[in-house]
Structure 1
Amino acid sequence: MSLSEITARMAKAAETAGRSMDDLSLIAVSKVQPNARVAAVLDEGHRIFGENKVQEAAGKWPAFRERYDGIALHLIGPLQTNKVKQAMQLADAIHTVDRAKLAKTIARHAQELGTCPDLFVQVNTGEEPQKAGVLPSEADAFIAEVRALDLPLKGLMCIPPVDEEPSLHFALLGKIAARNDLAGLSMGMSSDFESAIALGATHIRVGSAIFGERVYG
């Protein structure tokens, strides 16, 4: 598959859902991808990228930003509190705010830096013990807590369980967002982004379908 094929499928899904492509952001997930592959996607004109780890993002994106204008970097992996300041200096959005300590650390650094990336609360819609995110039953209270810190909360994010129908989780995330008056929905990956778009996704996270299989080691 390619960037243009993904974009075409997104456009078709948006049209079917009666939505505009202007309301959708395609995050090209570039974690552990060789720089040459990332540069090729940049050369195609794409500018929105996602990384899982702060350390990898720090080693990759400052140099790309010197060569390309208009890059928006989204951090979509778990964030440790000791990496928050570095993450906030690198990223335009953080999708994995999932606990009070992290939110308070972001708020403290936002005061120091005078700026803050857009934030998404990660919701563990499948209530999986091994997965990060606030439980659905605790989401409303945590969203209120983040807002009380005067942080720029834009929406919610989820990663559905691999063995369950993703649309059920997308619908749940949408309901939580709606009752909390949040417009952003970071949901949908390579295998399920069409159903995510149908259920209101605003940010789609696609990696290997754009870049090719990841290279580890």
Structure 2
Amino acid sequence: MTDLAHNLEAVQQRIAAAARNAGRDPQSVALLAVSKTFPAQDVRAAHVAGQRAFGENYVQESVEKIDALADLRASLEWHFIGPLQSNKTRPVAERFDWVHSVDRLKIAQRLSEQRPASMAPLNVCLQINVSGEASKSGVAPQEAARIAHEIAALPNLRLRGLMSIPEPETTLEAQRAPHRVLRELFDALRASGLALDTLSMGMSADLEAAVLEGATIVRIGTAVFGARAYSH
């Protein structure tokens, strides 16, 4: 077994254990392998090991990677999870299956306008700034309902749920708190009539806390691919 395959198996075991602790079906939590800064050959190796969904943060890098792996396109699912500028929405609208980081209505509108008619609706999540950090992207929780309903009405998009990147914490209870805020907001939006099914929350350091609070997608990079050497 390769190191990458071993890492994927170890993460899946963590997800399954967390799900069982929460009284949930492990199959209700999907692993999104965050491949940002790693080369296309690493994604190809992860694909050989059985992984299908990959997360990217940088538009130019991801476009090059997706094009380099065009032969696997039918069996790969690409998720854009990084900050998205309005002048860079077109390549994302044209190549990705999901965008987790919709943090304002303008971005959603541009993705809707630029999604090719020949493609399925683009799955999107509304990013929520659950920690209230000025440096973090995301909609304030009190604004989420209005913006979510506006996004849900756009053509060529399917609003699937919510995403967050909370401030790092070191204890399980402290990690659970912001994820609980997101889940409670998710429940409220569902109660208001939105057909949401996705909570994108939890990373390598806090996936257990996220799963305990209801995550349906955990975004795992370091625990799968190893430490990153950033050049961006």
TM-score interval, smaller chain? over 0.9
Tell me by how many angstroms 1:141 deviates.
1.2
Tell me by how many angstroms 1:35 deviates.
3.1
> Are the equivalent residues in 1 in contact too, given 2:129–2:140 (CA < 8 A)?
yes
Distance 1:96 1:7 in 2: 24
Distance 1:215 1:33 in 2: 9
* Paired position in structure 2 for 1:207: 221
> Are the equivalent residues in 2 in contact too, given 1:98–1:123 (CA < 8 A)?
yes
Distance 1:203 1:32 in 2: 20
Per-residue CA shift, 1:66-109, capped at 9, x if unaligned? 14641001000011112212101111100011112112212222
* Paired position in structure 1 for 2:208: 194
* Paired position in structure 2 for 1:153: 159
> Are the equivalent residues in 2 in contact too, given 1:34–1:215 (CA < 8 A)?
no
Distance 2:125 2:73 in 1: 26
- 3-state SS in 2 of match to 1:18: coil
Distance 2:230 2:209 in 1: 29
Tell me the TM-score normalized by structure 2: 0.87
Q: Identity over aligned residues, as a percent?
A: 38
Distance 1:143 1:73 in 2: 22
Tell me by how many angstroms 1:59 deviates.
0.6
- 3-state SS in 2 of match to 1:6: helix
> Are the equivalent residues in 2 in contact too, given 1:99–1:134 (CA < 8 A)?
yes
* Paired position in structure 2 for 1:167: 176
> Are the equivalent residues in 1 in contact too, given 2:81–2:101 (CA < 8 A)?
yes
Distance 1:16 1:152, change over 3 A: same
Tell me the TM-score normalized by structure 1: 0.93
* Paired position in structure 2 for 1:57: 62
Tell me by how many angstroms 1:53 deviates.
1.1
* Selected match of 2:19 from 14, 20, 44: 14
The alignment status of 1:41 with 2:46, answered yes or no, reads yes
Map 1:40-119 onto structure 2 (within 5 A). 40-67=45-72, 69-110=74-115, 115-119=120-124
5+ residue gaps, structure 2: 1-5, 191-195
> Are the equivalent residues in 2 in contact too, given 1:38–1:211 (CA < 8 A)?
no
Q: Partner amino acid for 2:67? A: P
Q: Partner amino acid for 1:120? A: C
5+ residue gaps, structure 1: none
CA RMSD of aligned residues (A): 1.8
The alignment status of 1:176 with 2:185, answered yes or no, reads yes
Distance 1:34 1:114, change over 3 A: closer
Aligned residues: 217
The alignment status of 1:129 with 2:134, answered yes or no, reads yes
Distance 1:11 1:85 in 2: 36
Distance 1:114 1:63 in 2: 20
